[in-house]
Structure 1
């Protein structure tokens, strides 16, 4: 603004020049497109799935990682890892997928359910394989119902929620663990080309290592309890190679063994509530309220593939709010008639709709 005012005064001396230049720049559409940025709403409260004490893997986040090359006969083929993580305990389950199609994902999902139990809620990004998987699962469940299968859980199906496209921060629970898996695989495997059997074994070892990571503060006092890990719930101890305690031979057929397992689980959940949950409450950013994006607003779509001056222009046609009432994503329509679904972190408001403050 100061530079513009200086250049104008080389030829003219406008009255109240600074205020006039500021007003003109503020109304300039080209300047708006160059300087506008997303209005990130206040960070939402933790979802109920992060407090789910029903059981491990009751609410699950899913993501793919890879590809990883394997040697099969004389050919080199690609394999992909499927990561399942419990949103409450942060436990990890890894499966190996032979391709990125829907059938391969469904097979991995069936193996996961057979070993960890049927989840109540699945969360994933908006990949085509996940969308296809949901459609095929629902069609299969409908066929089971027509066959008069009386299993209530099979009739209800699995609730599946997809994140808006371009919103990786909404899936931070599993995105963070995908990075940990990639680093571990890089250190263990490097650039080696393994067989399917060896790769499956390596994934299982990485899964065990991640489930042994500490969730709580590591005390410097040796008399304190060991830090809480997902393995404490899955195995009863932090390390898969260590026994959770000493037991006599006569206790093998004891009727109270189920009490021992339940005691270990109860101990985990007590420490989980007391030591782990309070660490999730801190908000390091996105602490201030901003105006909600409103239907009718003229916006720019912040696309990573285009420079700022060439972001597509669109109008908001529908908004989607979170449980706290704040708009978290919106449906946008461009001049060509194309419809996009984007999070508000990728939306820059150019012109606000008149007569609405966005509250």
Structure 2
């Protein structure tokens, strides 16, 4: 019996120099995941840094009789840190329509510091208009120093993702997909009025803001799960429970009952969802 000195090192060296063994036991390169941007992790005021995107067009009833339905669009705003969602209805894809939606969003949720979006023409037009307004106010001469300082501190920065890189906007793309899913289940191919559409949007917004960010408690003594709406209003929003009307025929329901029934029961006739 012989004891070979350094046999383990010799076997390891021989194994590593064998091309056949090296290829069969090769290790795949692991792609490193980049760190989250600072806007996604730093605590800020809700909707100070947000992303915006448009959802599929929907049709609402015209206020005039014997008129064709009107096409409207849905603007989805997503807060970066906690993924709180805000929904606005837009009349068309023009820059003035987006500017009006931004004004409504700003007076209801507060002034935005950064807005992220894709490279849509309506988003670029709104960004250029905001930049022109800021530059006009910034370089005005006279006794408006206080106003100019306030406008300079509250400047809105619009950031676009790279062209043809939709994965950069995965945060608002996921919110748009969820809103389309709920909208298709609630109204389907039906044409609803303007007031009904606003009510449905508010209910979809509450549903999206009720997704838990932490583990759902398994017992009654556990703490309540953290949801995005906690960072918006501080408490949990719960819809008022209403009796089920699924067994009542639609022709016996009032207009309000029919709208609420659509929010709780999916429609029978649906169509395939359009592209974002």
**For 1:22-42, what per-residue CA distance to the aligned partner results, in whole angstroms no more than 9, with x for missing partners?**
xxxxxxxxxxxxxxxxxx974
How far 1:197 moved relative to its partner?
Answer: 1.9
Alpha-carbon separation, structure 2, partners of 1:56 and 1:179: 22
Does the 8 Å CA contact 2:137/2:148 hold for their aligned counterparts?
A: no
Please name the residue that 1:104 is paired with: 97
SS of residue paired to 1:66:
coil
* 1:46 and 2:46 aligned: no
**1:75 aligns to 2:72 (yes or no):** no
Aligned with residue 215 of structure 1, among 213, 216, 223: 213
Matched, 1:154 2:151: yes
SS in 2 for 1:81: strand
Runs of 4 or more above 4 Å deviation: none
How far residue 75 of structure 1 moved from its aligned partner, in angstroms, is 2.3
Cα distance change, pair 201–153 in 1 and its aligned pair in 2 (3 A): farther
Partners of 1:232 and 1:71 lie apart in 2 by 35
Per the alignment, residue 233 of structure 1 pairs with 231
Q: Name the CA distance, whole Å, in 2 between partners of 1:109 and 1:132.
A: 13
Alignment partner, residue 262 of structure 2: none
Matches within 5 A, 1:301-312: none
Paired with 2:68 and 2:136, the residues of 1 have a C-alpha distance of 39
Quote the residue 1:85 is aligned against. 78
Provide Cα deviations, 1:239-260, integer angstroms capped at 9, x if missing partner.
2458xxxxxxxxxxxxxxxxxx
**Structure 1 residues 44 and 81 mapped into 2: Cα distance closer, same or farther (>3 Å)?**
same
- Answer whether contact 1:59 1:87 (CA < 8 A) is retained: yes
> In the alignment, what sits opposite 2:47?
57
- After TM superposition, the score normalised by the length of structure 1 is 0.54
State the distance in 2 between where 1:151 and 1:189 align: 47
Determine the C-alpha separation between the residues in 2 that align with 1:80 and 1:42.
38
The alpha-carbon deviation at position 48 of structure 1 amounts to 0.5
The DSSP-based 3-state class of the residue aligned with 1:140 is helix
CA RMSD of aligned residues (A): 2.1
SS in 2 for 1:234: helix
What is the rounded CA distance, in whole Å, between the counterparts of 1:127 and 1:216 in structure 2? 34
Deviation digits for residues 44-79 of structure 1 (CA, Å, limit 9, x no counterpart) = 111101112121112101100121011112122110
2: CA distance between counterparts of 1:212 and 1:141?
36
State how far apart, in whole Å, the 2-side matches of 1:62 and 1:106 are.
Answer: 12
Give distance in 2, aligned partners of 1:179 and 1:153. Answer: 37
Matched, 1:66 2:78: no
In structure 2, the residue matched to 1:115 is 108
SS in 1 for 2:58: strand
Runs (5+) with no aligned partner, structure 2 = 1-29, 241-276
Q: Please give the residue correspondences for 1:119-158 in structure 2 after superposition, counting only pairs within 5 Å.
A: 119-145=112-138, 146=140, 148=144, 150-156=147-153, 157-158=155-156
Q: Per the alignment, in what secondary structure is the counterpart of residue 129 of structure 1?
A: helix
Aligned counterparts of 2:149 and 2:110: Cα–Cα separation in 1:
15
> Shift of the alpha carbon at 1:195?
1.7
- Does the Cα contact within 8 Å between 2:74 and 2:89 map onto a contact in 1? yes
- Partners of 2:187 and 2:239 in 1: how far apart? 22
Q: Return the offset for 1:142.
A: 2.7
Secondary structure, aligned partner of 1:187: helix
The alpha carbon displacement at 1:219 in A equals 2.7
3-state SS of the aligned residue for 1:150? helix
Alignment gaps of 5+ in structure 1: 1-39, 243-359
Query: Given the two structures, how large is their TM-score scaled by the length of structure 2?
Result: 0.69
Match of 2:196 in 1: 198
CA distances 1:308-344 after superposition (whole Å, capped 9, x unpaired)? xxxxxxxxxxxxxxxxxxxxxxxxxxxxxxxxxxxxx
